[in-house]
Structure 1
Amino acid sequence: MGKMVIQILAAVAEAEQERILERTNEGRIAAMASGVKFGRKPHRQSDMVRELITQDAPEKTILEKTGVSRATFYRLKKRTRIEQIGVIREKTKR
């Protein structure tokens, strides 16, 4: 008898979890449709850092000029290089 009650409660909990996920996803989709931005906010100096990276400025200079952390610098450097590779590949496809 006790096992059956536990199985019923587990089934109810699983159904509730599925409903929560559905409502969460619906809310996320509605928010995206209304223009809500998700994810990390860009660093206020990120445009300047990216510009200096494309100009091949030394790392130390960029860090001192912008005041960003090393982690932010390397994250932006990686993204900038990936974007540059994508642009180069698009140009060579033509």
Structure 2
Amino acid sequence: MALLGYARVSTSHQKLTLQIEELRNAGVREDRIFTDMMTGATDEREGLQRLLARAEKDDVIICTKMDRMGRNTADMIHIVDACYKKGIAIRFLENGLSTEGTMGKMVIQILAAVAEAERERILERTNEGRVAAMASGVKFGRKQHPSTSLAITLIQQGEPLQTVISKTKISRATYFRLKRNRNS
């Protein structure tokens, strides 16, 4: 029986350090900790795939939180079921849950469904906030170049490309986009 660990953060700006430390404190050796630095929304998580390929009967996979392991309920159920069929247990440190035994597997699946519902509620609230912000006049996207209005004026006056670029310091792409939008 081996203790294996899995840690994941969603972006490269986040750190795996805390999760790895928790896994080490739970008894997982450093060389048996598998990691990913990417969103859980994809199946292309190399660390998770290596972990699942490495895990054998009677091994225990330890993960700090449920949402680090699966991207949604279906994915979580698939991972739990595949491990369960191979005789591999999964333990979550945050809440002390384990797939060991029939009840453990059922509890994990229920909690995975609850976690997915919470993620969907967060997305709904985020979208509602975005719609409200747009309605109140908040502009999204990249800010305009400070010289955009001058560039538009020069283009309307028929100034050539090099003159507009040298006076405003806009890029060639911006010049042509502004010129195209003017003609639309």
Q: Report the TM-score when normalising by structure 2.
A: 0.38
Identity %: 57
Structure 1 residue aligned with 2:114? 12
Structure that is richer in helix per residue: 1
Q: How far off its partner does 1:58 sit?
A: 2.7
- The answer to which structure, 1 or 2, has the higher relative contact order (CA under 8 A, 6+ apart) is 1
Among candidates 48, 56, 66, match of residue 150 of structure 2:
48
Unaligned regions of 5+ residues in structure 1, if any? 86-94
Structure 2 residue aligned with 1:32? 134
- 1:28-78: CA deviations, max 9, x gaps? 22222222222222222101112323444332222211122x2xx413422
C-alpha separation in 1, matches of 2:135 and 2:151? 31
Structure that is richer in strand per residue: 2
Q: Report the TM-score when normalising by structure 1.
A: 0.66
Superposed structure 1 runs of 4+ greater than 6 Å apart: none
Q: How many residue pairs align between the two structures?
A: 82
Matched, 1:61 2:160: no
C-alpha separation in 2, matches of 1:53 and 1:5? 65
C-alpha separation in 2, matches of 1:50 and 1:78? 10
Structure 2 residue aligned with 1:80? 179
Root-mean-square deviation (CA, aligned residues, Å) is: 2.2
Larger radius of gyration: 2
